[in-house]
């Protein structure tokens, strides 16, 4: 029986990088949660007044746990930018779209501080003949990153 071929999402090299990033992210999150749960158990089992303040304690623990997770997620998403940049330079536009599309997701838009990812994605969509998608991405770039060089470059190009 032949084995099922491995699915490639972007390119083999990019997939290897992202797989490594994803595995590191999951390991960090798991270790953080194990440490936090151990600390919570110790707190509740050794501090007599802790149950009275459980809402406050649990809220603070949740907030302090999410902060590193958000930073790690941001680092993982930002790994896609150099991959997308390289793919656009190589004229591999379909692959570039896959690499850069996460920057259009609501929670990830803020990670593209200067608009480069949106500029590259709009360029890739344009080269693929997907004018509506290119316009949507470019509209975001021009509205929310208008002061940056990538927005100005898009305006000159259009």
Res 2: pLDDT: 64
pLDDT surpasses 60 at 100? yes
pLDDT surpasses 80 at 119? yes
**What's the average model confidence in pLDDT over 53-58?**
89
Could you write out the three-class secondary structure of the chain?
Answer: CCCCCCCCCCCHHHHHHHHHHHHHHHHHHHHHHHHHHHHHHHHHHHCCCHHHHHHHHHHHHHHHHHHHHHHHHHHHHHCHHHHHHHHHHCCCHHHHHHHHHHHHCCCCHHHCCCCHHHHHHHHHHHHCCCHHHHHHHHHHHHHHCCCCHHHHHHHHHC
In this prediction, residue 22 has a pLDDT band, given cuts at 50, 70 and 90, of very high
In this prediction, residue 54 has a pLDDT band, given cuts at 50, 70 and 90, of confident
pLDDT surpasses 90 at 50? no
Res 33: pLDDT: 92
Res 87: pLDDT: 97
Mean pLDDT of the chain: 92
Res 24: pLDDT: 95
pLDDT surpasses 90 at 75? yes
In this prediction, residue 1 has a pLDDT band, given cuts at 50, 70 and 90, of low
Res 145: pLDDT: 96
In this prediction, residue 6 has a pLDDT band, given cuts at 50, 70 and 90, of low
């Amino acid at each position: 029986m032949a084995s099922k071929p491995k699915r490639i999402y972007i390119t083999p090299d990019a997939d290897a990088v992202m797989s490594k990033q994803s595995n590191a992210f999951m390991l960090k999150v798991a270790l953080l949660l194990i440490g936090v749960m151990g600390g919570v158990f110790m707190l509740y089992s050794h501090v007599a007044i802790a149950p009275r303040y459980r809402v406050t304690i649990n809220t603070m623990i949740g907030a302090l746990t999410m902060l590193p997770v958000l930073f790690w997620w941001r680092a993982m998403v930002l790994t896609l930018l150099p991959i997308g940049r390289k793919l656009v330079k190589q004229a591999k536009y379909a692959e570039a779209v896959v690499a850069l599309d996460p920057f259009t997701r609501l929670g990830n838009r803020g990670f593209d501080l200067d608009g480069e990812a949106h500029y590259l994605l709009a360029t890739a969509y344009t080269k693929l003949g997907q004018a509506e998608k290119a316009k949507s991405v470019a509209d975001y770039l021009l509205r929310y990153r208008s002061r940056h060089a990538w927005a100005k470059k898009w305006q000159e190009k259009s």
